[in-house]
Amino acid sequence: IQSKLPKVGTTIFTVMSKMASDFDAINLSQGFPDFPVSEKLIDLVYQNMQIGHNQYAPMPGLPKLREAIAKKVSNTGGVDLNIETEITVTAGATEAIFSSVLATVHSGDEVIVLEPAYDCYIPAIELAGGKPIPVSLNPENFTPDWEKVKNSITDKTRMLIINFPHNPSGAILRDDDIATLKEILEGNPKLIVLSDEVYEHIIFDKETHLSVLKDEFLASRSIAVSSFGKTFHATGWKIGYMVAPEAIMKEIRKVHQYNCFSVHTPSQYAMAEYLQDEKNYLGVSGMYEKKRNFFQQAIKDSKFKVIPSYGTYFQLLDFSEVTDMPDLEFAQYLIKEKGLASIPVSAFYSENQDHHLLRFCFAKGEETLQKAADILCKI
Ligand code: PMP
Ligand code: GLN
**What CATH number does the domain containing 265 carry?**
3.40.640.10
The reply to whether ligand 2 has any atom less than 6 angstroms from the CB of 27 is: no
* Structural domain that includes position 181: 56-280
What is the number of domains present in the chain? Answer: 2
One domain for residues 206 and 220: yes
Main-chain phi, psi angles of 228, to 5 degrees: -70, -15
One domain for residues 93 and 169: yes
Residue 75 maps to a domain: yes
Handedness of CA 334, 339, 345, 349 (dihedral sign): positive
Most ligand 2 atoms within 8 A of CB, residue of 14, 27, 32, 227 to mutate: 32
**Cα gap 324→318, rounded to integer Å:** 11
Residue 48 maps to a domain: no
One domain for residues 94 and 22: no
pTM for the whole structure: 0.97
CA of 32 from ligand 2 middle (Å) equals: 8
% of residues, the chain, pLDDT over 70: 100
Ligand nearest to the CA of 14: 2
Q: Which residue's CA is minimally distant from atom 8 of ligand 1?
A: 31
Residue 159 maps to a domain: yes
Q: Which residue's CA is minimally distant from atom 4 of ligand 2?
A: 31
Main-chain phi, psi angles of 110, to 5 degrees: -100, 140
Q: Which ipTM was obtained for this model?
A: 0.98
CA of 30 from ligand 2 middle (Å) equals: 5
**Cα gap 51→292, rounded to integer Å:** 40
Q: What is the pLDDT of residues 320-370, one digit of tens each?
A: 999 999 999 999 999 999 999 999 999 999 987 778 999 999 999 999 999
One domain for residues 105 and 170: yes
One domain for residues 18 and 139: no
Q: What is the pLDDT of residues 327-341, one digit of tens each?
A: 999 999 999 999 999
The reply to whether ligand 2 has any atom less than 6 angstroms from the CB of 227 is: no
One domain for residues 265 and 183: yes
Q: What is the pLDDT of residues 232-282, one digit of tens each?
A: 999 999 999 999 999 999 999 999 999 999 999 999 999 999 999 999 999
One domain for residues 221 and 208: yes
Q: What is the mean pLDDT of the chain?
A: 97
One domain for residues 275 and 293: no
Residue finishing a domain among 252, 280, 308: 280
**Cα gap 6→294, rounded to integer Å:** 41
Residue 335 DSSP symbol: I
One domain for residues 66 and 138: yes
